[in-house]
Structure 1
Amino acid sequence: MRKIIAAFNMTLDGFCDHTSGLPDEEIHQHYTELLGQGDAILYGRITFELMEFWRTVLKNPSEDKSINEFATAIDKIPKIVFSRTIENTEWESATIAKRDLRNEVIELKQQSGNDIFIGSRSLIIQLLNLNLIDEFQLCIFPVVVGNGLPLFDNIKERITFKLNKTKTLKKGAVILYYQPIKG
């Protein structure tokens, strides 16, 4: 049975807007390695459209090797997009989900293979409320931004977590590996 893993970046004050983080070479390397260990990543429409930026990096590579390697990893991993408005995608490694989120994720979990990642805040919230997330990998950037998009919003009930592991990066970001405690 595969795990569903929410791997996401956030600031010290809990915001996850993509412009709030401090990505560097080590962060890109971390996520490149992580994506290489998974079988798919789940996106909502908005995040999927933001991630299409990486296709431009493939066409016009950066001078930063870690950025180019991340672009290759994000291009390679299969993407399942949950959208009511997108009917098809030009990205070869992306498909539009045919079923609702709950049923799609339950089926993915029951298959053999590697882990499935969640790459959209909206899907994290929905799947957390459905009790379908097996692990959180939260990369906390050492920055306070004061406002933005909170990662945990509209949670239906209290959820407790067990800290399984931490990873500290050279520039102060910390990755916390949490497991929701099923009650």
Structure 2
Amino acid sequence: MRKIIAAINMSLDGFCDHTAGIPDEELHQHYTDLLDQADSILYGRITYQLMEFWKTLLENPSDEKSMNDFAIAINKIPKIVFSHTLKDVEWDTARLSNQTIEKEVLALKQKSGSNILIGSRSLIIQLMKLNLIDEYQFCVHPVVVGSGLPLFENINERTILKLIKTKTFSSGALILYYEPTKIHLP
């Protein structure tokens, strides 16, 4: 069975803000490798539209090879978008889901293949509530932003996670890899 991996960048104080991180060559390479090892990535509308930025680097490459490599990887991975407002998606490798996130993820897990990534805060929260995430990869950047969207918002159930490994970047960013335990406490 395929693993559902929630991978997200966050500030030290727990906020998801794509502009607060410290993107560098090392971090871009990490995420390029992660994308290359997965079969698909799931996005909500907002994150999907933010990620469309990377299409511009395909037409007008950056001076940074790691950014161009990431743009190629994000372009080729199949993207499944969950939205109540989008009527279509313009990215050739994207499609709108016509199912609930629970049905879509359960069906994807049953198929053979590689990991499925979750790249949106809203989807992480929904799938966490459904106990459908097999691994969390929190990239914590050494920055305090003070406000924004907290990663774990409106979580009503306590969930215990087991740290399985870490990865440290020269920028000071740290990826914490967790698996959920089967213990759920009130």
Same-fold call, TM > 0.5? yes
In the other structure, the counterpart of 2:29 is: 29
> Which secondary structure state, in structure 2, belongs to the residue aligned with residue 127 of structure 1?
helix
Q: Distance in 2 between matches of 1:35 and 1:128?
A: 21
Query: 1:164 Cα deviation (Å)?
Result: 0.3
User: After TM superposition, where is structure 1 displaced by more than 4 Å over at least 4 residues in a row?
Assistant: none
Residue ranges of structure 1 left out of the alignment (5+ in a row)? none
1:4 maps to a residue whose letter is: I
Q: Distance in 1 between matches of 2:106 and 2:142?
A: 35
Q: Distance in 2 between matches of 1:48 and 1:36?
A: 18
Query: 1:120 Cα deviation (Å)?
Result: 0.4
Query: 1:148 Cα deviation (Å)?
Result: 1.1
**Counterpart contact for 2:28–2:70, Cα < 8 Å:** yes
> Which secondary structure state, in structure 2, belongs to the residue aligned with residue 181 of structure 1?
strand
In the other structure, the counterpart of 1:167 is: 167
In the other structure, the counterpart of 1:96 is: 96
Number of paired residues? 183
Query: 1:57 Cα deviation (Å)?
Result: 1.1
> Which secondary structure state, in structure 1, belongs to the residue aligned with residue 23 of structure 2?
coil
Instruction: Give percent identity, aligned residues only.
Output: 66
Q: Distance in 2 between matches of 1:24 and 1:165?
A: 22
Structure number with higher strand proportion: 2
1:89 maps to a residue whose letter is: V
Deviations 1:15-65 (A, max 9, x none): 111111111111000000000000000000011011000011111110000
Query: 1:95 Cα deviation (Å)?
Result: 0.5
TM-score when normalising by structure 1: 0.98
1:133-144 to 2 correspondence within 5 Å?
A: 133-144=133-144
In the other structure, the counterpart of 1:7 is: 7
**CA-atom RMSD, angstroms?**
0.7
Q: Distance in 2 between matches of 1:167 and 1:128?
A: 23
In the other structure, the counterpart of 1:85 is: 85
Q: Distance in 1 between matches of 2:13 and 2:38?
A: 29
Q: Distance in 1 between matches of 2:22 and 2:172?
A: 10
Q: Distance in 2 between matches of 1:176 and 1:55?
A: 29
1:123 maps to a residue whose letter is: L
1:36 maps to a residue whose letter is: D
Q: Distance in 2 between matches of 1:64 and 1:101?
A: 35
In the other structure, the counterpart of 1:19 is: 19
Q: Distance in 1 between matches of 2:88 and 2:156?
A: 32
In the other structure, the counterpart of 1:157 is: 157
**Counterpart contact for 2:75–2:93, Cα < 8 Å:** yes
